[in-house]
Amino acid sequence: MEEFGTASAIAEAVRARRVSALEVVDAAIARIEARDPTLNAFVHRGFEQARQRAAAIDSRIGDGQDVGPLAGVPTAQKDLFNFYPGWPSTFGGIRPLRHFSLDLKTTYPQRMEDAGAVVLGITNSPVMGFRGTCDNPLFGPSRNPFNPDHNSGGSSGGAAAAVADGMLPIAGASDGGGSIRIPSSWCGTFGFQPSYGRVPMVMRPNAFAGVLPFVYEGPISRTVRDGALAMLALAGHNPADPFSVANDVDWLGALDRPVKTLKIGLATSLGGYPVDPRVAGAIGAAARGLEEAGMTVVPLDFALPCSHAELTNLWCRMMAGMMISVFDGFKAQGLDILGDFPDSIPTELAQWIDIARGLSRREVEADQELRSRAFDMLQGALYGVDMIACPTTACLPVKNALDGNTKGPSEIAGEPVNPLIGFCLTYLTNFCGNPAASLPAGLVDGLPVGLQLIGRRWADADLLAACAAFEAARPWQDSYAICAARPLA
C-alpha cells in the first residue's frame, strides 16, 4: 500500500480518479502475496471477490456516484465472530471449523463496504481470542513484522501485522480484553477501542451478552487519521444491539480539537501491575511527548481493588462463560468440539471452561461485584484528569512457540503473571466501557512499545484529539522502514 499512501490518501485519489480502486486492490494483493508468507497474517484470501468489488466501485465512480469516504481502501476482517458469505470462520483456528461459514456479513465488513472499502480476506487470531498472543494449532502464529521470531500480539495479531507491514492501511479488530490494543502495542500501530456502544456488537442467542466483559470492534491503522476515518464508517446505532448508541462524534473533526486543556494522569503500573523496567522507561519518555503536544501530565497514584492476579483470573472466568455458550451451541447442532476434538482447543482454555462451568450463581454474582469495584476504581482514578496514560502491555513481544500455543511471560519484574493475559494492562476498559487507544511509544531492543491512553466514558473525541496531537509531536511513521526492509520468505 505504500505505492498509494494512507487510507485517507487512497480514498481521495480513487474518488478523484487519479488511480482506480482495482489498481489499489491489485497492489495490495501483490504485497500480501509477497510479504505474508513470512508473517502468516492472513488465514483466508478472497482476492477474486475483492477485485470484482473494486471494479464495481470504479464503475460507480465513472457514473458519477458517491461510493463513500473509504473509496477503494483495502481492508480485512478478523477470524473471530466475523462472517462473510462463503468465507470460512474458524473462531481463531479451531480445526473442525475449517470449512464453517455463515451466509451473512457482520458489522465490520458490512459497514466498511458500505463506506466504499474492499475486504480482501480474513486475518489470524488465537482460539476464541482467549489470550494476548496470536497463535493457534490450525494456522500457527502471526509473526511480528519488526522481528518475525517474535509474536504479533493478540488476539487481533494478524490484523496488526498486516497493517504494520504495509499490506493494508486499515484492518478490522475486536477487543474483549485488549485485542485491538495489545497487537497494536507489539506491532507499532495505532489501535482505537471506542466507548462501548459506539460500534454495534450484535450477539446471539444472548443479545445482552450475559455476564461478559464488554466486547468492542474497532480499527487498527498506521495513522490516527485513518483510524478516525474507519470510525466514521463503523460508528452508529443498530437496533439489533440493545447497547448500541447513535453516532454523535465528529470523528475527523476531533483530530483538530485543541488539547491544551487536557490533563493526563501518568500511571505506569496502572494501580498495581508489574511492568518491565524497559517498558516503563519508554512510557515515561512517551509521556514527555504528550507534554510536547501541549497537554499537562501529572503523576496519578491509585490502587487496584485487588491484586492484578485476581483481576486477571476474573477476566478469564468471565470470558470462559461466553465460550461455554458458543461450544454448547455447536454441540446442539451436532458438532461436539470439546468432546470429540479436544486437541483443537488449547489446554488453558479448556481448564478455564471447566472452572466457569463449576461456578455457582452466587460466585457469578461475586465476580460481577468485583467487576463493579474495578469500575468504581477506574472512574475514580479519572476524577480530576481527562485520561490515564500507561503501558498497553507490561512486556516486549515474546518469541513464537513451535507448537501453536505461544503464550506471554509467566513472570514480569520478579512477579508471577498469568501468561494468557496477565501481561496486558488493557482489560479494565472491557470491565468498564471506557474508550482507550494504543499509540506507538518507540522501540526497545528493536521491538515496539505501546502507550495506552484511557479516556472517560463517552469522551471519544477527547481521546482522538490527544492521540492526534501525540502523533504530531512524536511521529512514528519512519519506524515502518524496519518492517519494509525485513527479509522475505
Distance CA 290, CA 301 (A): 18
Which residue numbers are catalytic? 78, 155, 179
Distance CA 242, CA 260 (A): 36
Q: List the grid coordinates of 280.
A: 516503563
Distance CA 197, CA 238 (A): 10
Strands (E), 222-322: 263-266, 296-299
Distance CA 187, CA 448 (A): 6
pLDDT surpasses 60 at 3: no
Round the average pLDDT of the chain to a whole number and report it. Answer: 96
CB 141 within 8 A of CB 57: no
pLDDT surpasses 90 at 4: no
Q: How confident is the model at residue 489 (pLDDT cuts 50, 70, 90)?
A: confident
CB 195 within 8 A of CB 249: no
Distance CA 202, CA 77 (A): 16
Q: Count the Cβ atoms, other than its own, within 10 Å of residue 17.
A: 11
Distance CA 3, CA 211 (A): 46
Looking at residue 188, its pLDDT comes to 98
Looking at residue 1, its pLDDT comes to 45
Q: Count the Cβ atoms, other than its own, within 10 Å of residue 434.
A: 27
Looking from the CA of 361 toward its CB, the CA atoms found within 13 Å total: 0
CB 38 within 8 A of CB 486: yes
Q: How confident is the model at residue 211 (pLDDT cuts 50, 70, 90)?
A: low
Distance CA 384, CA 296 (A): 12
**Model confidence, pTM:** 0.97
Strands (E), 36-182: 42-45, 74-78, 118-123, 143-144, 147-151, 170-175
CB 483 within 8 A of CB 146: yes
Maximum Cα–Cα distance across the chain: 64
Backbone phi, then psi, for 334, in 5-degree steps?
100, 5
